[in-house]
Amino acid sequence: MAVPVIRHVRASVVRGGGADYHDQGADHWIDDNISTPMSKYPQYRASRQSFGINVLGTLLVEIETDTGHRGFAVTTAGEPGAYIVEKHLARFLEGRKVTDIELMWDQMYNATIYYGRRGLVLNVISGVDLALWDLLGQVRQEPVHAMIGGPVRDEITFYATGARPDLAKEMGFIGGKMPLRFGPAQGEEGLNEAVEHVARMREKVGPDFWLMYDCWMSLTVEYATRLANRLDPIGFKWIEECLSPDDYWGYAELRKNVPRGMLVTTGEHEATRWGFRMLMEMDCCDIVQPDVNWCGGLTELIKISALADAHGKLVVPHGSSVYSYHFVCTRQNSPFAEFLMMAPKADKVVPMFSPMLEGEPVPVNGKIKMSELDKPGFGVTLAEGLTLERPYTH
Ligand SMILES: C[C@H](O)[C@H](O)[C@@H](O)[C@@H](O)C(=O)O
Ligand SMILES: [Mg+2]
């Protein structure tokens, strides 16, 4: 049988949740006074949406072949991402065989290197790459994990990110990562409250349940060092993304400062094998957390993971739903995964990219069995009734 050839590439924008999971309604834990690099400005302290964390929206990339096969993926890139797909990247896909994934990735990356390399452009390349892997799975009628080496375990174990680690423990997760709500902007009072909050949670969850903070790039080395040392006596698994993604030097210093046994993690806003090589060679962290929707897609995550493995680092991808589940199940150095609690009160398990994907599996008792990931591609379809807008064509 001839290998199917790509004929059509379409980029649409969808608002409200999905891959831009910060794009939520009011009264959601994920937008409730969380410490960020903008917290130094009082007017932007209460809500991350106030400074635009959800300004992009979800980009949907759909790819169709001459044989009628169709693959798709979603990522965080919205209308600017749609422009880049339609006006720049589509030319490297249309006319290509569905199997030419490495070649298409290399051309997309090198053709955008003069304005890309990280951030939005890599989010877009990631979305296209994930759609290509979904398409290949549809053509071959195989789940993506089966095409990248196959599972090394029968189920995926999750920690939960959200405001309620106590409820996460009751739901069977192995740990709870909370958003840090106070940073340098709130001074000593904020630091004391951050420590007391963990102490209260420790009381509720007992001595063995993992507790972590996600600091969302909002701290200094000095503040993170003091916070880590104050948290250590309570029992703290890791402190996440304390500094700017560009401050490799600060991470290297912080990692030397934190108490022995407490892990330093980062990487969700890093991209490409080169960015992660820097994190590893400068000894910035114990666990790297690439987001497969942002780091360059699955094709790049495979490279990042091999590099991390050689450096003895765990790869625990940031969120990203089925796009990371199909990966982590295939790698020994990805022993657990993140599940972002997208229910507004973090009190129940709902699909991470809700309401966008039909068939999106969710952890049951903190785990997803491999039998949930046996459908072709990433095993999901677009939800009915979504309002799709295609702002550009080519
Ligand atoms: C919970 C954090 O503040 C972010 O919203 C989250 O997206 C990310 O940092 C995470 O690690 O889940
Ligand atoms: Mg994080």
pLDDT tens-digit series, residues 330-377: 999 999 999 999 999 999 999 999 899 999 999 999 999 999 999 999
**Which ligand has the minimum distance to the alpha carbon of residue 22?**
1
The predicted-structure confidence for 275-328, as pLDDT tens digits, reads as follows 999 999 999 999 999 999 999 999 999 999 999 999 999 999 999 999 999 999
pLDDT at 17: 85
Catalytic residue chosen out of the listed positions 145, 318, 326, 394: 318
pLDDT at 23: 94
What are the boundaries of each domain within the chain? 6-20+56-141+384-389, 147-375
CATH placement of domain 147-375: 3.20.20.120
Tell me the CATH architecture of domain 6-20+56-141+384-389: 2-Layer Sandwich (3.30)
Q: Mark residue 351 as left, alpha or beta (left: phi above 0; alpha: psi -120 to 50; beta: remaining).
A: beta
Q: Is the CB of 318 within 6 Å of ligand 1? A: yes
Query: In angstroms, rounded to a whole number, what is the distance separating the alpha carbons of residues 96 and 104?
Result: 8
The DSSP string of 296-354 is SHHHHHHHHHHHHHHTT-EE---S-HHHHHHHHTT-TT---EEEE--STTS-S---TTT
- What is the value of pTM for the model shown? 0.98
The SS3 call for residue 192 is helix
The predicted-structure confidence for 147-199, as pLDDT tens digits, reads as follows 999 999 999 999 999 999 999 999 999 999 999 999 999 999 999 999 999 99
ipTM above 0.90 for this complex:
yes
Is 326 one of the annotated active-site residues of the chain? no
Q: Is the CB of 340 within 6 Å of ligand 1? A: yes
Is 214 flagged in the annotation as binding?
Answer: yes
In the chain, % of residues over pLDDT 70: 100
The predicted-structure confidence for 76-112, as pLDDT tens digits, reads as follows 999 999 999 999 999 999 999 999 999 999 999 999 9
Average pLDDT over residues 243-258: 98
In the reported structure, the alpha carbon of residue 369 is separated from the centroid of ligand 2 by a whole-number distance in angstroms of 24
Q: Is the CB of 179 within 6 Å of ligand 1? A: yes
Model confidence at 259: pLDDT above 90:
yes
